[in-house]
Amino acid sequence: MRAKRIACALALLCCMCPLTVIARDAGVMAAPPASKDTLADARRRTQDTPFAFRGIALGITLDEFRAGSNVRATPLGSVPVCETDVQAGALGMRLKSRESLTVACHWAHRGDDGWALSQAVVDGAPAAEHVLRFARMGAESDGQSALRLYEMSFVIDEITAEDLRDALVERYGPPRHATQNVSSPGALPVYVWENAVSSITLCFLPGTRNGTLTYLLKGSDAWVKSVVRQWQASDAEAG
C-alpha cells in the first residue's frame, strides 16, 4: 500500500511539472519584449539627465537642496550650511548674502562647542573634505537667476576610491576616459564618466593616498566666468 502511495505521488508530480513549465513559458511569451524605441528613449533620458550623488542631482536650486531631506553626512542631525563662495568673496561680495554670485555649501552639525563641519558619506565611508557649489543660472519669473548646483566635490581615501571606481563602472559602464597605467612622473590616474550634460571625475592622488570625486555640470565653468564678468561690469558702473 505504501509503495502504491509513493507511485501515485510520483505520477502526480510528473504531471504537475509540465504544467508548471507550460505556465511559466506562457507567462514569458505573454510579456512583450521591450521595443527598440523604448530602449532608445531610456538611453536618451539617461544621457539628458544630470548625474546625481545619492539622490542629490546636479542642476537643482539652492532652495530645493536646503528643503530636501537628502543629507548625506555624518553625524546624524547634520544640515546644509551655505555662504558666499571663495570665488565671489574674492570679488568683494559680502559673506552669507543671498545676492551672492556663487554659494558654497557644507554639511555641519551643532555640538557642545558650537557648529562643526560634518563628514559627507561617500560609498559608505566618511569623506575627508566636501563642498557643494551653486551659481546663478537661468532666469526666474522675477527676473533674477536661480542659484543652481553645478559642482559636488569630495576627498576620499584610496580604498574607498577604488571601490567607488568599480561601483561606477557597474552602474554607468566603462569610463569615457581612463588614465590607468601612468608612466610620466607627476601624472595621476584619472577616470571620467560623461553624459550629454554632466560628468563624474575620479582622480587618484598617489602622494596622499587619497582620491577626489567631482560631479560637474558641463559648461558651468564658462557660465560662472560669464556671470563674474557681468557682475564686475555692473559693479564698476554702480561705482
Q: What is the full per-residue pLDDT of the chain (239 aa) written as tens digits?
A: 334 333 333 333 333 333 333 333 434 344 455 555 654 454 555 668 999 999 999 999 999 999 988 899 999 999 999 887 766 666 565 656 666 778 899 999 988 888 899 999 999 999 999 999 998 876 554 446 789 999 999 999 999 999 999 999 999 999 988 886 555 555 679 999 999 999 999 999 878 889 999 999 998 777 677 666 766 666 555 55
Buried b (16+ CB within 10 A) or exposed e, 151-178: bbbbbbbeebbebbbeebeeeeeebeee
Give this prediction's pTM: 0.73
Q: Which residues are registered as beta bridge partners of 106?
A: 81
Task: Please tell me the distance from the alpha carbon of residue 149 to that of residue 134, in angstroms, as a whole number.
Answer: 4
**What local confidence, expressed as pLDDT, does residue 69 receive?**
81
Task: Please tell me the distance from the alpha carbon of residue 21 to that of residue 7, in angstroms, as a whole number.
Answer: 22
H or E stretch including 76? Answer: none
Task: Please tell me the distance from the alpha carbon of residue 38 to that of residue 25, in angstroms, as a whole number.
Answer: 24
CB 148 within 8 A of CB 60: yes
Q: Which residues are registered as beta bridge partners of 154?
A: 130, 213
**What local confidence, expressed as pLDDT, does residue 22 receive?**
31
Cβ neighbours of 79 (radius 10 Å): 13
**Cell numbers 559642482: residue:** 151
What sections of 55-139 are H helices per DSSP? 62-67, 86-90
**What local confidence, expressed as pLDDT, does residue 62 receive?**
93
